[in-house]
Amino acid sequence: MPENCTDVLIGRQDEIRRFDALLRAAREGRGGALVLRGEPGIGKSALLRRLDESATGFLVMRASGAEFEMELPFAALHQLLAPVTGGLTALPAPHRKALEIAFGLDTGTPDPFLVGVASLGLLAETARERPLLCVVDDAQWLDRASAKALAFLARRVSAESIVLVFAAREPSRLPELDELPGHALRGLGASDARALLAAAVRAPLDERVRDRILAEARGNPLALVELPATAGLAGMAGGFDQPDSVPGVIEQSFRSRLELLPEAARTLVTVAAADPIGDPILLWRAAEHLGIDATAVARSVPLVEFGTRIRFSHPLARSAAYRAAAPEERRRAHEALAAVTDPVADPDRRAWHRAQASAGPDEQVADELEASAHRARERGGVAATAAFLARSAALTISPVRRAERALAAVEAKLAAGDFDTAADLLTTVPADEPGRAARADLLRGRLSFARRRGDESPTAYLVRAAARLADTDPDRSRECALDAIEMGLLLGGLDDVVQAVRKTTPPGGAGRGSAAVLAGLISLVGEGHAAAGEILRPVVADAGDEVWARRPSLGFMVATELWDFDALCGIAARAVAAGRASGSFHTLPVALAMRATANVHRGDFGAATELISEEEAIADATGAAPLVYPRLHLAAMRGRRQEALDLFASVDHRMSLSVAWATAVLGNGFADYPAALEAAKQAVEYGAVGTAGLALPELVEAAVRCGETEVAAAALTSLQERTRAGRHAWGLGVEACARAQVTEDESAYQEAIGLLDDSALVVYRARAQLLYGEWLRRQGRRRDARSALRTAHESLSGLGMEAFAERAAGELRATGEQARGRTSTASDELTMQETHIARLVADGATSKEVAAKLFLSPRTVDAHLRNIFRKLGLTSRRQLRDLPGLR
């Protein structure tokens, strides 16, 4: 589009005002982000240029997505941060190392979100001197690693003098961008379109021709300019036909101009289009390799600016130039670029160009691509790993190696979320060898689980994989079977999965490891808890067993089923340690949620809050949904009805079991026994391992209070099967308390309180004392009741179990004694995130250390601290250390 047209920016006043507001806020220390979306040619790049011109006093940093760089991890982020990488030395060592690895300056495996934290620190330091404007054009072509890091940045600049603006085509292929504030750029209105057309075409236009151009362009500014340029005055006088789509119209316009060029000029443009980095030295060398005098030819080439960087006038011009070339011409261009690319400094680009230059299978190039995939994996480029492996498989001659590389590509595609390509690749893998066929079935199961659709259930694929390996590799067969059972627990239908596994999998034995766990779970479904307990108890008690390291969620559920509290806590703690060590934001959130849940049940609500806050910080940084079940457990135990109800409304049907359990606990806490009875029945009817068992004592309590004696007795029997199979104090104490309620045996209450006399079981001991005190009051033993209820109230109130504490207070009043009111704590006034920040600062953490842990900027942490001080009436960090509820 001519400059005189872009400068006018006809019809874009609303967008200009929005950009001006972003810049004004950033000057005041309130950063923001915006994704400008629209079809090609709609004016995104012109608006970005206008934004650039308006950013007086800003340091402007630019990056642009490139279609051919989508496979190279952190390419766009490196491009954006290049002007400020001199500030890396000011960053904490882990952050500096993360960026150095991402940019290929060091070795290791960075996580995109740790890279995001480091990038935020780098930009925040730079913004102390003057505000920053970060502009990312063609964002639809960002590599996924850069997209994750930049989206993280965009969500974290609200307290910084930083503006991030992205321009992307619609629809976006990057979910990271879809979650950011956006503005859809639409076509110009009729009057604005006429004004732009008049500015672009100075000559008089036939009315019918003008109407035809306006109709074809559909308000697209670039099309309004390019249509007359394509048709010429003669064409406008006589009418013309154009492609249906506006991008097609624009691209055809560019292609028409390129077709008029001499062969050498067309070749030079093709090479420029095939090189995404726009390095003029590389282009001159490639031209020389092809026998072209680039300096002479460049003078006559339209649409391309040959300067310190090679730039096309519009992204569609690059696309048009590349697509206009014949396949052989494109291969020659890539071959030339590969020939002049440094194999040591830039082996991945060289391998990619060589792959694009290959007309058929080439084992040497396939090997190079596999090596590039390995390097990409080390740098955290999951999408790049998948792309390199897929292309490597396509170029591999050996059928065996091709199948192995295809399977590796499928795994990488699944990790990158490219499910459709993964499914297509799986169809190329032959089922001519049991191990390979089983691996393919495992991947089909993962794919079906991820997509929530398929011809067969995810567990069916895993069971079939186990069957394929039963004779040739029994150990792997059992691993597949365990995967199927774990998935069955998550999806429901556990009994059916176990029955299928029993028929196809080699039997395991007692002892340790996967074989014992598999045998125990099969026994659990087929023979019951007593038989299963003999097999599972030893392996569950060993929280360090490798089977739980690989499947901590399964271990957590089995430990809960056997009421083994030490194992429950041990498995969760080990999972958190492993998640932190690996830096994986896939496994760490689940581990944090498990440990938070364990802390809820041990009565350490402060530690649970901290862990939940950390998990939510990761979810917010990654754009994922936070895990709700630990928050459900915490809200139910605390007795915070409205908080729990809000959570209930936010979850989907897959959380029905946790919601039913939480509703039962709330009902019993508020003495709403009919509601608790109905919810506990629902939880038990789900029949899943773990939480359904936790619902049994709630069902006993509610049923007894509602006079449903048969229901209570049946629930007690089911509970006894579990607790006696586990033989641990937690389960035996809870069972004794349930038995006391059903039988009204005072010694059973005393047995329960004795068994639960452990600091880790204080929640269950306090509830047993409450139930005992209530029973004593109903027996007319008011003095004994006061003692038990007073102890229960003090414990429940101290723990922060508000509903049960109020229930104890009411019972105390009924005995003639007034319960002391609960002393408020800091956490009553603060949000969950503020409580976490306050606890970290109380432990001596600096703002930078808190920021790194919660993926915030230090200025954002300081803003939270100001709110914390205001709410609590404090003036310094030191005062936080002595506050109740934080330490």
Q: How far is CA 811 from CA 50, 793, 798, in A?
A: 71, 10, 17
Question: Average pLDDT of 666-687?
Answer: 93
Ranked by mean pLDDT, which of 36-45, 226-235, 514-523, 762-771 comes out on top? 762-771
Cα–Cα distance for residue pair 844/838, rounded to 1 Å: 10
Query: What torsion do the CA atoms of 207, 208, 212, 213 make, to the nearest 10 degrees?
Result: -30
Q: Percent of the chain at pLDDT above 70?
A: 89
Dig out the tokens for 443 from the structure. 């991947």
Tokens 């300096």, residue located: 295
Provide the pLDDT for residue 756: 96
State the burial class of residue 89 (Cβ atoms within 10 Å of its Cβ: 0-12, 13-18, 19+).
exposed
Q: Which of 739, 692, 732 is nearest to 713 (CA)?
A: 739
pLDDT-derived band of residue 1, with 50, 70 and 90 as boundaries? Answer: very low
Dig out the tokens for 498 from the structure. 């176990």
List Cβ neighbours of 846 (8 Å cut-off, separation of 6 or more): none
Provide the pLDDT for residue 678: 96
Cα–Cα distance for residue pair 210/214, rounded to 1 Å: 6
Residue with the larger pLDDT of the pair 721 and 819: 721
Is the peptide bond preceding residue 302 cis, with omega within 30 degrees of 0?
A: no
Dig out the tokens for 513 from the structure. 């490891």
Query: What torsion do the CA atoms of 773, 778, 782, 786 make, to the nearest 10 degrees?
Result: 20
Q: Across-strand partners of 168?
A: 37
The pLDDT tens digits for 641-670 are 898 888 888 876 656 888 999 999 999 999
Dig out the tokens for 499 from the structure. 């029955």
Question: Average pLDDT of 217-228?
Answer: 74
Dig out the tokens for 775 from the structure. 């029973």
- Asked if the model's pLDDT at residue 772 lies above 90, the reply is yes
Provide the pLDDT for residue 790: 93
**658: number of Cβ within 10 Å:** 25
Ranked by mean pLDDT, which of 328-342, 475-489, 609-623 comes out on top? 328-342
Residue 132: helix, strand or coil by DSSP? strand
CB 70 within 8 A of CB 79: no
List Cβ neighbours of 627 (8 Å cut-off, separation of 6 or more): 589, 590, 593, 615, 619
CB 828 within 8 A of CB 885: yes
- Asked if the model's pLDDT at residue 602 lies above 90, the reply is yes
- Asked if the model's pLDDT at residue 720 lies above 70, the reply is yes
Provide the pLDDT for residue 244: 45
Average pLDDT, the chain: 85
Provide the pLDDT for residue 242: 42
Residue 310: helix, strand or coil by DSSP? strand
- Asked if the model's pLDDT at residue 5 lies above 60, the reply is no
State the burial class of residue 845 (Cβ atoms within 10 Å of its Cβ: 0-12, 13-18, 19+).
middle
List Cβ neighbours of 400 (8 Å cut-off, separation of 6 or more): none
**429: number of Cβ within 10 Å:** 21
Q: How far is CA 740 from CA 677, 716, 748, 750, in A?
A: 18, 10, 5, 9
- Asked if the model's pLDDT at residue 238 lies above 70, the reply is no
The pLDDT tens digits for 828-838 are 678 878 888 88
Residue 169: helix, strand or coil by DSSP? strand
The pLDDT tens digits for 306-363 are 887 787 877 677 778 888 899 999 999 999 999 999 988 888 889 989 998 998 899 9
pLDDT-derived band of residue 237, with 50, 70 and 90 as boundaries? Answer: very low
With residues binned 3-state (H G I as helix, E B as strand, rest as coil), the percentages for the chain, rounded to 5, are 70, 5, 25
- Asked if the model's pLDDT at residue 525 lies above 90, the reply is no
Q: How far is CA 523 from CA 89, 509, 516, 556, in A?
A: 58, 11, 10, 18
Provide the pLDDT for residue 885: 60
Which range has the worst mean pLDDT, 286-290, 513-517, 654-658? 654-658
Cα–Cα distance for residue pair 492/457, rounded to 1 Å: 11
List Cβ neighbours of 170 (8 Å cut-off, separation of 6 or more): 37, 38, 39, 184
Which range has the worst mean pLDDT, 109-118, 516-525, 812-821? 109-118
Question: Average pLDDT of 210-231?
Answer: 71
Question: Average pLDDT of 386-414?
Answer: 90
| SS3 per residue for 240-283 | CCCCCCHHHHHHHHHHHHHHCCCHHHHHHHHHHHHCCCCCHHHH
Provide the pLDDT for residue 655: 65
Q: How far is CA 749 from CA 69, 602, 801, in A?
A: 69, 20, 21
Ranked by mean pLDDT, which of 96-110, 551-565, 706-720 comes out on top? 706-720
pLDDT-derived band of residue 510, with 50, 70 and 90 as boundaries? Answer: low
- What separation, in Å, do the N-terminal and C-terminal C-alpha atoms of the chain show? 64
The pLDDT tens digits for 293-309 are 888 888 878 878 888 77
Question: Average pLDDT of 50-64?
Answer: 92
Question: Average pLDDT of 848-874?
Answer: 83
DSSP 709-733: HHHHHHHHHHHHHHHHHHT-HHHHH
Provide the pLDDT for residue 208: 67
| Sequence-ordered alpha helix ranges (H) in 91-157 | 93-102, 112-127, 144-154
Model pTM greater than 0.75? no
- Asked if the model's pLDDT at residue 272 lies above 80, the reply is yes
Provide the pLDDT for residue 636: 95
Cα–Cα distance for residue pair 333/290, rounded to 1 Å: 8
Provide the pLDDT for residue 36: 93
Cα–Cα distance for residue pair 442/478, rounded to 1 Å: 13
Provide the pLDDT for residue 40: 81
Strands 182-184 and 32-38: parallel
Amino acid, res. 658: S
pLDDT-derived band of residue 68, with 50, 70 and 90 as boundaries? Answer: low
pLDDT-derived band of residue 6, with 50, 70 and 90 as boundaries? Answer: very low
Provide the pLDDT for residue 194: 81
